[in-house]
C-alpha cells in the first residue's frame, strides 16, 4: 500500500525525467552529422498544424536575431509570395525593399542555392550583375 502511494507521488518526477530524455535524444540527433537524422523528424512534425506554427515562429525568431534585414525583407515579401513566380511581380516586390534588405535576400538565396531571379532581357541581366558587384 505504501509502495503504490509512493509511485503515484513520483508521477511528476517520471514526467520530468521523460521530457529530459526526449530533450537529450533531440540534442544528440542534432549533433550527429549536422542534424542529418533530426531533419526528417522536423519534416514529420511540420505536418501537424500546431507544431508547424511553432516551428515557423521559432524559425522567424531565429532569423530576426541573426539577420534583421533578412527578416524584414521576408515580412515584406510574405503577402506577395504566390506572385513571385511572375518576373514583373517579383521585380515590383523587390523594388519595395531597401538596399540592405535586397542584399540580405540575395545573399540568402545564393547561400541556399535557391533559384536565381531570372532576367527577362539583356538590360535586366546587366542591372542584376551590377547589383551583385556592388554587393560584394
pLDDT tens-digit series, residues 20-70: 999 999 999 989 988 888 889 889 989 999 999 999 999 999 999 999 999
Q: Is residue 125 part of a domain?
A: yes
Task: Determine the structural domain holding residue 84 and report its residue range.
Answer: 67-136
Q: Is residue 8 part of a domain?
A: no
Give the C-alpha separation, 116 to 111, whole Å. 11
Q: Is residue 14 part of a domain?
A: no
Q: Is residue 16 part of a domain?
A: no
Binning pLDDT at 50, 70 and 90, where does residue 120 land? Answer: low
| Number of compact structural domains in the chain | 1
Percent of the chain with pLDDT over 70: 91
- Asked if residues 70 and 61 have their Cβ atoms less than 8 Å apart, the reply is no
Q: Is residue 117 part of a domain?
A: yes
Unique residue bearing C-alpha cell 522567424: 60
Q: Left if phi > 0, otherwise alpha if psi is -120 to 50, otherwise beta: which for 34?
A: left
Q: Is residue 60 part of a domain?
A: no
Q: pTM of the prediction?
A: 0.56
Cell of 79: 503577402
Q: Is residue 121 part of a domain?
A: yes
Q: Is residue 116 part of a domain?
A: yes
Amino acid at each position: 500500500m505504501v509502495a503504490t502511494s509512493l509511485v503515484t507521488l513520483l508521477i511528476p518526477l517520471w514526467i520530468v525525467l521523460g521530457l529530459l530524455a526526449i530533450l537529450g535524444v533531440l540534442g544528440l540527433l542534432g549533433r550527429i552529422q549536422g542534424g542529418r537524422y533530426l531533419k526528417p523528424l522536423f519534416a514529420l512534425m511540420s505536418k501537424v498544424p500546431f507544431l508547424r506554427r511553432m516551428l515557423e515562429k521559432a524559425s522567424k525568431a531565429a532569423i530576426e536575431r541573426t539577420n534583421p534585414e533578412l527578416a524584414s525583407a521576408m515580412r515584406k515579401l510574405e503577402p506577395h509570395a504566390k506572385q513571385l513566380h511572375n518576373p514583373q511581380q517579383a521585380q515590383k516586390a523587390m523594388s519595395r525593399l531597401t538596399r540592405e534588405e535586397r542584399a540580405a535576400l540575395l545573399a540568402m538565396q545564393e547561400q541556399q542555392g535557391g533559384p536565381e531571379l531570372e532576367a527577362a532581357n539583356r538590360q535586366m541581366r546587366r542591372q542584376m550583375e551590377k547589383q551583385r558587384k556592388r554587393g560584394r
